[in-house]
Amino acid sequence: MESSDDRPAHESLSQCVVQSATNGDRAAQRAIYEATSDRVFRLMVRMVGQQDADDLTQQTFVRAFTKLDQFGGESKFETWLYRLATNEALQHLRREKHRRTKELVVEPTADQTDRVEEDERATMVRSALDQLDPELRAIFTLKEESGLSYHEIAATLGIPEGTVGSRLNRARRELRKILEV
């Protein structure tokens, strides 16, 4: 698809797809889901664990498609979607506060010795993340796992950029303290 302005074709296509989905186009909704569901799922795994990630990913997309008309285009669509996903995860964590231990998904490695060490490290990190306040975990996950900028995290969570930086530093300090014990 060619674009008559200076924007890349994929950006215009994205806006076009979002607008079509807002108008009820099922193919456009499917295209959005296929383009973003893996990233939302990975975010959910990091936020709430493997056990609940599938359900919360689906809930996020149900909510997104029912609220598409509320997407104003002030930010990237993905930022808006991450905000919905993060809110869904935080609500779930509040409801399930007593459940602190979650399953961990670990990428397989070729060498078994490395895999055992990697599994142990990943379990320690997951356990440490589970001990963080859910809002600190959200900021840490959005930055370190999803690679969002401070600006994107601020837009996703509806907080000032400076707050993102201070909370991210606090999350890192707390994780370091937990992992040193």
Mean pLDDT confidence for 48-61: 91
What is the three-class DSSP state of 57?
helix
Residues shown for the chain: 181
* 129, containing H or E segment: helix 112-131
DSSP state of 69: G
Whole-structure pTM over 0.85, yes or no? no
- Give the confidence band of 102 by pLDDT, cuts at 50, 70, 90: very low
CA distance 142 to 79: 10
Residue position matching structure tokens 């001990």: 131
pLDDT of residue 115: 65
Residue carrying the six token digits 């506060």 = 97
Domains, the chain: 9-180 (1.10.1740.10)
Q: What one-character DSSP code corresponds to residue 71? A: -
